[in-house]
């Protein structure tokens, strides 16, 4: 059984978004929001995403994104990986 990540540094990393959905954390007022930054999704919808791993500007790759029951936000599902871009 995998232990839940406590911070973004604890996450597994990937250098590709292939097979996943790209999410980025952005500052909105005093809050740090997770937003899907991939075509085919509403860019302004908030997302249920673990607060402890949110870091401003960081890109994440999630296995799946589902529309929340309210029909106005998303829920991240499956594994969450931090995207690291090659230098």
pLDDT one digit per residue (tens) for the chain, 87 residues: 455 668 888 899 999 989 899 999 999 999 999 999 999 999 999 999 999 999 999 999 999 999 999 999 999 999 999 999 876
Q: DSSP characters for 18-71? A: TTSEEEEEEEETTEEEEEE-STTS-TT-EEE--GGG--TT-EEEEEEEEE-TTS
- Predicted TM-score (pTM) of the model is 0.87
Q: What residue spans define the domains of the chain?
A: 8-83
Cα–Cα nearest to 49, from 30, 19, 24: 24
Whole-angstrom CA distances from 16 to 19, 34, 46, 58, 72 are 9, 19, 23, 14, 28
């Amino acid at each position: 059984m995998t232990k839940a990540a406590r911070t973004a540094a604890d996450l597994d990393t990937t250098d590709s978004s292939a097979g996943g959905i790209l999410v980025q954390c952005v500052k909105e007022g005093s809050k740090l929001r997770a937003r899907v930054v991939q075509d085919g999704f509403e860019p302004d919808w908030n997302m249920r995403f673990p607060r402890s791993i949110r870091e401003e500007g960081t890109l994440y790759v999630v296995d799946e994104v589902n529309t929340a029951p309210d029909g106005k936000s998303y829920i991240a599902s499956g594994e969450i990986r931090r995207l690291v871009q090659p230098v």
